[in-house]
Homo-oligomer: A and B are copies of this chain.
Amino acid sequence: IDKRNTGALQNILIDLHPADIAQIISHVKKDERIYLFSILPPKVASSVLAELDPPLMEELTEELGVEKISAIVDEMDSDDAADFVSSLPDEIVPEILERIPEEDSDEIKQLLHYDEDTAGGIMALEYVALPMDATVEQAIQEIRRLKAEQEVTDVYYIYVIDDENHLVGVVALSDLVLAEDYTTLKEIMKTDLPKITPDMDQEEVANIFRKYDLVSMPVVDQENHLIGRITIDDIVDVLEEEGSEDMAFIAGAPDEEITEGSISKLARARLPWLMVAFLGELLAAFILNQFDVTLRHKLMIAFFIPVIMAMGGSTAQQASVIVIRGLATGDLSLRDTGPRLLKELKISFLNSLFFATVLFIIVYLWDSAFFAGILSVSIFVVINNAAIIGALVPLTFKRLNIDPALAAAPFISTTNDILGILIYLTITTVVINFGM
């Protein structure tokens, strides 16, 4: 690379899989990255770009001229092209769409209408569709023609349509291969398909693919007109993306790209989550101030604040993560709210009994049976309360159409810290005032 030996480098790179080139490009310095990318032919560059993380994609396109970008967009499949164009600065988009053939730019404009988290956002317009009375031989010729024109790449299914472009069935390529040449598609097509519309959430689409072990699915509009197709490789990306997002939210962090370079951007993105925890715990400090008299009476009460906070927080996290994950995979639905809460309460009841007993013994040996009693009752109430909140909050978020994963840390843990302290110190204050 140092010698900028363009010819030799091009030869090496072109033999590699675009995913491997993307990996190499991700791991070199910025100026080398721009150089390596600039020497790729448009066709390879477009495949590589589709494999790159968004921050690197943006970095590279900033350095390229409108002309080069247009050439790259022209080589992309419609779904990758739409994703890429939507990531470009708004001011250059019209210029780029003008430079590519009208047919392609119309397709991209059409796809740009859909929200990127929906079926419309991940579907592509390159598919093989044929009328019902077409024969197997005609189908094979059509695939051959489209492949020769590089209009489609991998084909697993042929979509069968009527005169008005209504989807009537699909034919698996393996069934096509096995049928006789003169068989019509109508005779070998499957018709009982789960219906995917472009406004369907991508997570829901992924669950359908997973449930029925599919590799490709047609997308239809409300009137059942065929408008696109989704393939399994896009679904695999969706699963990874949604998994990363949920995981980040559960840990109280934004879903950031590992390759994002800007420190201040990253710090700003993480700040809101920290802010929720900060403000919540400041409130806890003011609450503790209200119990000043109780704490002065017996300082040891303060020593157990971390135990109470952590047990409440951990229990709530456990209850929430199973609910969040269940809602994401579709294994749990809002109908299950009551039974789920009851189940969490039963589990937390057993565990709270255990910890109440252990804590009683420890504090009894350390201090007194009186204080041990206060603490064991407090931890019992705090744990059971936390289990209900942990299960209920994500279910409520789901009902309000907010991503349930946002319900986890820091929201649930901060709420439980505050409630835990309130429960603990209220019980303590009441017992001390009336009991002594």
State which size class the interface on A falls in: 35 or more
Pick the residue among B23, B192, B281, B321 that contacts A311 (CB under 8 A). B281
Within 8 A of B (CB), among A202-242: 209-215, 232-233, 235-237, 239-240
Are B281 and A331 in contact, CB atoms less than 8 angstroms apart? no
Chain B residues whose C-beta falls within 8 Å of the C-beta of A362 in the assembled complex: 282
Chain B residues whose C-beta falls within 8 Å of the C-beta of A373 in the assembled complex: none
Q: In the bound complex, what is the Cα–Cα distance between A320 and B251 (angstroms)? A: 9
Are A232 and B240 in contact, CB atoms less than 8 angstroms apart? no
Chain B residues whose C-beta falls within 8 Å of the C-beta of A259 in the assembled complex: 331
Instruction: Indicate whether A306 reaches chain B with its CB closer than 8 angstroms.
Output: yes
Are B270 and A347 in contact, CB atoms less than 8 angstroms apart? yes
Q: In the bound complex, what is the Cα–Cα distance between A281 and B362 (angstroms)? A: 13
Chain B residues whose C-beta falls within 8 Å of the C-beta of A302 in the assembled complex: 288, 295, 299, 302, 305
Instruction: Indicate whether A160 reaches chain B with its CB closer than 8 angstroms.
Output: no
Chain B residues whose C-beta falls within 8 Å of the C-beta of A143 in the assembled complex: 174, 177-178
Residues of A that sit less than 8 Å from B by CB: 17, 19, 23, 51, 53, 140, 143-144, 147, 154-156, 172-174, 176-178, 192, 209-215, 232-233, 235-237, 239-240, 243-244, 246-248, 250-253, 256, 258-259, 263-264, 266-267, 270-271, 273-274, 277-278, 280-282, 284-286, 288-289, 292, 295-296, 299-300, 302-307, 309-311, 313-315, 317-318, 320-322, 324-326, 329, 331-332, 343, 346-347, 350-351, 354-355, 358, 362, 408-410, 413-414, 417, 421
Are B281 and A211 in contact, CB atoms less than 8 angstroms apart? no
Are A274 and B305 in contact, CB atoms less than 8 angstroms apart? no
Q: In the bound complex, what is the Cα–Cα distance between A53 and B322 (angstroms)? A: 15
Are B310 and A414 in contact, CB atoms less than 8 angstroms apart? yes
Q: In the bound complex, what is the Cα–Cα distance between A151 and B210 (angstroms)? A: 23
Pick the residue among B144, B154, B309, B332 that contacts A306 (CB under 8 A). B309
Instruction: Give the Cβ gap from A60 to chain B, nearest Cβ, in Å.
Output: 17
Instruction: Give the Cβ gap from A330 to chain B, nearest Cβ, in Å.
Output: 9
Are A251 and B318 in contact, CB atoms less than 8 angstroms apart? yes
Are A252 and B172 in contact, CB atoms less than 8 angstroms apart? no
Chain B residues whose C-beta falls within 8 Å of the C-beta of A305 in the assembled complex: 302, 305-306
23 contacts between A and B (CB under 8 A): A19-B213, A143-B177, A143-B178, A173-B174, A177-B177, A209-B236, A210-B233, A235-B236, A246-B247, A247-B247, A250-B251, A251-B409, A256-B322, A277-B310, A277-B314, A278-B358, A280-B310, A284-B307, A285-B306, A288-B306, A295-B302, A296-B299, A305-B306
User: Given the interface contacts A278-B307, A350-B264, A417-B310, does A232 sit within 8 Å of B236 by beta carbon?
Assistant: yes
- Known A-B contacts: A154-B172, A210-B233, A250-B251. Give 18 more (CB < 8 A): A19-B211, A51-B211, A143-B174, A154-B174, A176-B177, A177-B177, A232-B232, A236-B236, A243-B246, A244-B325, A247-B325, A252-B318, A253-B317, A259-B331, A280-B310, A282-B362, A285-B307, A306-B421
Pick the residue among B154, B311, B321, B347 that contacts A266 (CB under 8 A). B347
User: 4 closest pairs, A vs B, by CB?
Assistant: A251-B321, A243-B243, A213-B233, A253-B318
Pick the residue among B240, B263, B310, B314 that contacts A343 (CB under 8 A). B263
Q: In the bound complex, what is the Cα–Cα distance between A19 and B331 (angstroms)? A: 13
Chain B residues whose C-beta falls within 8 Å of the C-beta of A280 in the assembled complex: 310
Q: In the bound complex, what is the Cα–Cα distance between A123 and B235 (angstroms)? A: 21
Chain B residues whose C-beta falls within 8 Å of the C-beta of A192 in the assembled complex: 17
Pick the residue among B211, B215, B358 that contacts A156 (CB under 8 A). B215
Residue of B nearest to A316 (CB): B251
Residue of B nearest to A173 (CB): B173
Q: In the bound complex, what is the Cα–Cα distance between A285 and B288 (angstroms)? A: 17
Chain B residues whose C-beta falls within 8 Å of the C-beta of A252 in the assembled complex: 314, 317-318
